[in-house]
Structure 1
Amino acid sequence: MEISAQGRLEVRITPADVGKRVSVRRLSEPGTAREKFTDTVGVLTSWDHGVLMITQRSGASVRFPETSLVAGKVVPAAPARRRGPAASYEELARVTSRGWRPVESEWLGEWELRAAGGFTRRANSVLPLGDPGRPLDAALAAVRRWYGERGLPAYVQTATGAEGTQELLCAELERRGWVREVSAEVWTGALAPVADRAEGADVVLAREADEAWLARYQRKGVSEMALRVLGSGSPGGSGRAGGPSVWFASVPGGPGAAPAAIGRCVVDGRWAGFAAVEVDPGRRRQGLATEVMAALARRALAEGASAAWLQVETDNEGAKILYTGLGFTRHHVYHHFREPVEQSAQGQS
């Protein structure tokens, strides 16, 4: 906190500091016999009508009246991460999007509108990478029309927690009634340590997701649209020629049974992206997930990749323990905001 030469706490932020990273101390229980202080660090995303809103690294927003402020100052950007490959948010956003391609896309300025018949929010949401080329309200109206024409709800994918992310856009969407439905984390790590894991299980690699692989995949009833997303970019598959290289891994189960474990990897330049790493519940804690990732990592290394990324749900503690052990660390958090219900109904009436 900011302390003056006389030892007093001081508020050294104003509404002009909106968009900057700040550290504040406020009274969380003003007027009570035992007043308590609360410290908050994040991006000052708004200061309107005497109310401040700060968006934290996790994406959570904290609102409080300016009358509760005890101290505050602008602070430097978060220090650079010391582990994992260096990467900007924009680089990772583009790479992760190419690793899970929609069936249809269109650009609105620097916003990519993506659709794939509703298969996953990632392939059916807007990826804002800059200026949409028009005021925000007009851009959001165009987004709602585009998705409404396809019979889909409008989603915007935003991010927090890394340099160049979109805390201000999160705040503006919330202000307009858009609802954050789900958040997940993007983790990165060096590829070689994953590939160096000892070989054990008989991991089979293939260019396409066959019926056996799909039998283990958690999303049941996979449509033709979903298969196009899963195979996007793969030579010999349904992806674009010259796009990322896609591999599917599986550990055979018993006779006539689904694979004991599966995984998917997309090799795109220096990056290898892991997804759909799933294990038969009866075979968990046998190292099969690590074996699948190691086999895919060795294939990715052979194709010239050196860094890895993956996405994990914020509450999946078991997966986080696995990925931490493999040398991955969190890079940023992304969120999917859904259009307000009343606007969605109007847009499709």
Structure 2
Amino acid sequence: MEITAGGLLEIRITKADVGKRVSVRRVEEGGRVPPVFMDTVGVLTSWNEGVLTITRKDGVSVRIAESLLVAGKTVPPAPARRRGPAASFEELARITARAWQPLESQALGGWTLRAADGFTRRANSVLPLGDPGIPLDAALARVGDWYAERGLPAYVQAATGAAGTQELLCAELERRGWVNEVSAEVRIGALAPVGEAADEADEAAVSAVALTRAPDEDWLARYGKVRDPELARRMLVEGPSVWFASLDGGRAIGRCVVDGRWAGFAAVTVDPAFRRRGLATAVMTALARRALEEGASAAWLQVETGNPGARALYDGMGFATHHAYHHFRGVR
């Protein structure tokens, strides 16, 4: 925290710093003796009527009464800890969107409304990459109407750890009662190490991975998120260059979308009875090698924050978090 030459903490933020990344220290409510201090780092997304709202990188907004502040300062963006390729938030947002294409979409200024009969939140949510061109409340009302016409709940996909405007949107959605239903990390890494992830013992499994352009019945059964197989097939095959991997009749599966320099991995799933045997690594290695043959050099994937097994696997392959995204569900 900011400490003066005299050893005192100082509050060096004002309402003019809304939209900036800050670090604050506050005393815990309740008047405990000795006092208990708590620190919060994130984007200052509002400061109204004596209350600050700070949105942390995990998407959670923390409300702090200014009377409890004992110190505060603006801080630079978090240092990059990424290995592998450099990428902007907007580039990755567009790349990941092309890997999960909706059946229909409509522009609302810089927002894109997407629908696919409810198959995956990613294809049934608003992608807000700019200004909607109308006041936020009016934009959200139009979003609610558009999804209601299709018999779908309204979702907005917004990010943290990416750009201040996205974090401000997270805070505004939360303030209006929208619920952060699911959070996930977008991770990136160099592609070549993924293609080399299997050790000698796993090479036989890699060789046994079948790569196809469309999912078969075994693949869909293992994926397990399908209520309409024909809709799922139609959705899953869409993308610049899509590959499906299957091992041992669907005991382990995966999907990869090659899009220029990027290879996006998804749906890596293993029969619970055969986990921790290197099957997921074999599937990803086989897909990575095919993507390398098509000229890709960088990799991305999305992993939900509550999936420690997958996170450990991707850590070992060199993937590092680029940003987090959150699906906010409307209150209507």
| 2:289 counterpart (282, 286, 298) | 298
* Paired residue total: 326
Tell me the CA shift for residue 148 of structure 1: 1.1
Tell me the CA shift for residue 247 of structure 1: 0.2
Distance 1:164 1:91 in 2: 16
Q: Is the 8 A contact 2:82 2:321 kept in 1?
A: no
**1:218 matched to 2:214:** no
Query: What's 1:142 paired with?
Result: 142
Q: Cα 1:221–1:148, aligned 2, differ >3 Å: closer, same or farther?
A: closer
Query: What's 1:152 paired with?
Result: 152
Distance 1:268 1:153 in 2: 30
Query: What's 1:245 paired with?
Result: 241
**1:336 matched to 2:332:** no
Secondary structure of 1:327's aligned partner:
coil
Query: What's 2:276 paired with?
Result: 285
Q: Structure 1, residues 129-169: CA drift from partner, whole Å, max 9, x if none?
A: 01111111111111111111111111100000124561100
Query: What's 1:28 paired with?
Result: 28
Distance 1:331 1:132 in 2: 25
Provide TM-score, normalisation by structure 1. Answer: 0.91
Distance 1:318 1:288 in 2: 13
Q: How does 1:41-60 map to 2 (within 5 A)?
A: 41-60=41-60
Distance 1:79 1:62 in 2: 22
Q: Structure 1, residues 45-104: CA drift from partner, whole Å, max 9, x if none?
A: 111110111111111111110000001011111112341311111111100000011111
Q: Is the 8 A contact 1:177 1:339 kept in 2?
A: yes
Tell me the CA shift for residue 316 of structure 1: 0.4
Tell me the CA shift for residue 200 of structure 1: 2.2
Query: What's 1:16 paired with?
Result: 16
Query: What's 2:260 paired with?
Result: 269
Tell me the CA shift for residue 212 of structure 1: 2.0
- What amino acid maps onto 1:282 in structure 2? A
Q: Is the 8 A contact 1:50 1:65 kept in 2?
A: yes
Q: How does 1:1-349 map to 2 (within 5 A)?
A: 1-163=1-163, 166-198=166-198, 199-201=203-205, 202-233=208-239, 244-253=240-249, 259-340=250-331, 344=332
Q: Cα 1:84–1:163, aligned 2, differ >3 Å: closer, same or farther?
A: farther
Q: Structure 1, residues 9-29: CA drift from partner, whole Å, max 9, x if none?
A: 110111111100001111014
- What amino acid maps onto 2:111 in structure 1? W
- What amino acid maps onto 1:320 in structure 2? R
Distance 1:220 1:196 in 2: 32
Q: Is the 8 A contact 1:89 1:164 kept in 2?
A: no
- What amino acid maps onto 2:273 in structure 1? G
- What amino acid maps onto 1:160 in structure 2? T
Q: Structure 1, residues 310-337: CA drift from partner, whole Å, max 9, x if none?
A: 1111010011110101111111111011
Q: Cα 1:247–1:165, aligned 2, differ >3 Å: closer, same or farther?
A: farther
Query: What's 1:347 paired with?
Result: none
Q: Is the 8 A contact 2:102 2:123 kept in 1?
A: yes
Q: Structure 1, residues 108-146: CA drift from partner, whole Å, max 9, x if none?
A: 111010000011111100000011111111111111111
Q: Cα 1:82–1:147, aligned 2, differ >3 Å: closer, same or farther?
A: closer
Q: Which aligned segments of 4 or more residues in structure 1 are displaced greater than 6 angstroms?
A: none
Structure 2: 5+ residue runs without aligned partners? none
- What amino acid maps onto 2:251 in structure 1? A
Q: Is the 8 A contact 2:43 2:164 kept in 1?
A: no
Tell me the CA shift for residue 225 of structure 1: 2.3
Q: Is the 8 A contact 2:52 2:66 kept in 1?
A: yes
Q: Is the 8 A contact 1:90 1:164 kept in 2?
A: no
Distance 2:175 2:271 in 1: 43
- What amino acid maps onto 1:269 in structure 2? G
